[in-house]
Amino acid sequence: MNVAYHLHQLGLNSQLISSVGDDQPGRELLVFLKQIGVDTAHIQQNTEYATSEVLASVNESTHEVTYEIIQPVAWDYISWKPEFESLLKASQAFVFGTLSARNTVSRETLLRMLSHATYRVYDVNLRAPHYSPEVIDTLLQNADLVKLNSEELMLIAKWYDPACQKEADAVEVLFNLFKMKEIIITKGSMGATYYTPSFRYYYPAYPVKVADTIGSGDSFLAAFLAMKLGDEPVDLTLDYAVAMGAFITSQPGACPPYSQFDFNRFIWKKKLNF
């Protein structure tokens, strides 16, 4: 949802496939999505399961965020719809995460969607205990671009090579085992690194006063895709993505209101040290 919101704010047409409960929180969420410009045409309403709840706690000194993700909920039971096939084939990118595969119903739907997607973007986003090495392996097999943080990278790489200690070695493990073409490692205040099997590009972070880090990775990914799908060079793409992550980190909440003008002004102020 966060990625879809930020893509919309950056001028791209984004669609969200999900499910909410047939309850008051679900109805309120649909109203909220329409208010922020996210299309709700492909959001199902489930009469058996409630709308998802996620309880987030932020450590005031480290800014680390911990989550309690309730289950089972409506988005654990996303069902396949025939119109998904044409939607996916017409889309430039399909973004998916690990949580949507924790239940077999949504997992089977997700795998079917991946078979029709033309550019599959996997935002790993591990949230214990809602994943397993077997499910992660399946999702990595179906990804073209993989985005994950340093801790997630090392955790996964050590499943396959326990002796792995360095980022570059961990990335090589994934490229050797899977068919993905790109890997992005996000590092918070240390910036981000973009890899292909033959190329590495690092970009530092923009320094900001942190309000909270919720949604910063999602905004980073949205900005990266907005530039990549526009065929912009990798240095400009990473600059834009890192700037967006910093911009959202400097504000409370994952989906703060802003315009492209607000974001561009933030970038120029940072570049001019104003």
Q: Which CATH number belongs to the domain containing residue 195 in this structure? A: 3.40.1190.20
Per-residue pLDDT at 274 = 53
Which residue has 């690194």 as its token pair?
A: 193
- Residue-range definition of the domain harbouring residue 174: 77-271
What CATH number is associated with residue 57? 3.40.1190.30
Q: Are residues 119 and 69 in the same domain?
A: no
On the question of pLDDT at 46 being above 90, the answer is yes
Query: Which of these three, 50, 76, 102, is where a domain ends?
Result: 76
On the question of pLDDT at 257 being above 70, the answer is yes
Q: For the chain, what percentages of helix, strand and coil (3-state, to nearest 5) are there?
A: 45, 20, 40
- Percent pLDDT > 70 in the chain is 100
Among 184, 42, 200, which Cα is nearest to 125's? 184
Q: Are residues 27 and 156 in the same domain?
A: no
Query: Which of these three, 49, 76, 103, is where a domain ends?
Result: 76
Q: Are residues 40 and 109 in the same domain?
A: no
On the question of pLDDT at 65 being above 80, the answer is no
Q: Are residues 60 and 81 in the same domain?
A: no
Q: Are residues 55 and 118 in the same domain?
A: no
Local confidence band at 227 (pLDDT 50, 70, 90 cut-offs): very high
Per-residue pLDDT at 62 = 75
Determine how β-strand 120-123 pairs with β-strand 94-97: parallel
On the question of pLDDT at 176 being above 80, the answer is yes
Mean per-residue pLDDT, 200-216: 91
Q: Are residues 122 and 209 in the same domain?
A: yes
Q: Are residues 60 and 87 in the same domain?
A: no
C-alpha neighbours within 13 Å on the C-beta side of residue 226: 25
Q: Are residues 208 and 93 in the same domain?
A: yes
Q: Are residues 135 and 62 in the same domain?
A: no
Q: Are residues 70 and 187 in the same domain?
A: no
On the question of pLDDT at 175 being above 80, the answer is yes
Among 119, 131, 264, 147, which Cα is nearest to 216's? 147
Q: Are residues 127 and 233 in the same domain?
A: yes
Determine how β-strand 192-196 pairs with β-strand 182-186: antiparallel
Query: Which of these three, 52, 76, 100, is where a domain ends?
Result: 76
Phi first, then psi, for residue 200 (nearest 5°) are -140, 135
Per-residue pLDDT at 63 = 72
Q: Are residues 46 and 179 in the same domain?
A: no
Six token digits for residue 10: 């950056």
> What is d(CA 191, CA 203) in angstroms, rounded to the nearest whole number?
6
129 C-beta neighbours (distance < 10 Å), count: 8
